[in-house]
Chains A and B, each alone.
Chain A
Amino acid sequence: MPDIGYLFKKYRQYLFYFLALLVLGWGFTPYKTIFLGLILGTTVSFINLWLLYKKTIKFSEAILNGKKAYSLGMLSRFAYAGLAILIAIKFPNYFNIIATVIGLLASTGVIFGEYFLMFITKRNQEER
């Protein structure tokens, strides 16, 4: 299993590719609100993943050094998601709400995708 830093680097790479595609979609297609909503949701999802990464490292270091760790920051991640959806509700002319909600699931999709990719690669290596 890869290191957490390596894993987060891969997730970051995929999310940046996805965001680049979304910006292209926003620039060259007439579906401006949908792509802006997706960009907003994906950005917040990316921030949430980064927060989780930082908190996980802090938490495990605290455990290994015998110190106290208080939380994994669940409330702040929920608050970020709430903020994104509040922005989408407040400015419906710019952001599509459904697209924002779909964008919020981008990091989960990336985690699933990377996991299946890792699983398939491992299986192929074992077959050889």
Chain B
Amino acid sequence: MGALAAALAIGLAALGAGIGNGLIVSKTVEGMARQPEQAGMMRVTMFIGVGLVEAIPIMAVVIAFIALFS
């Protein structure tokens, strides 16, 4: 059951992170293509956004590893 729990945790976390990162990156690419002079600002927004989005999936990875190995 530990392996199943780990698989569910890491899979759902990857799904959520993928959707979140995909939305952020798609909007950033769209914005950069439309206004290349604003690229610096969008890069900062993307950096902060991706950094915040990936906090919870990292916790899920940790939970998966704890379920699997301890």
How many chain B residues touch A (CB < 8 A): the figure is 34
Inter-subunit contact A49/B51 (CB<8 Å): yes
Q: Does B52 contact A (CB under 8 A)?
A: yes
Inter-subunit contact A52/B51 (CB<8 Å): yes
Counting contact residues on chain A (CB < 8 A from B), the size range is 20 to 34
Chain B interface SS verdict (over half): helix
Write out the residue numbers on chain A whose beta carbons fall within 8 Å of the beta carbon of B43. Answer: 4, 56-57, 60
Mind listing 16 A-B residue pairs with CB under 8 Å?
A1-B41, A7-B48, A59-B25, A63-B33, A72-B25, A78-B58, A82-B62, A82-B65, A85-B65, A85-B66, A89-B69, A97-B66, A105-B59, A108-B51, A108-B52, A108-B55
Chain A interface (Cβ within 8 Å of chain B)? 1-4, 7-8, 48-49, 52-53, 56-57, 59-60, 63-64, 72, 74, 77-78, 81-82, 85-86, 89, 97, 101, 104-105, 107-108, 111-112, 115
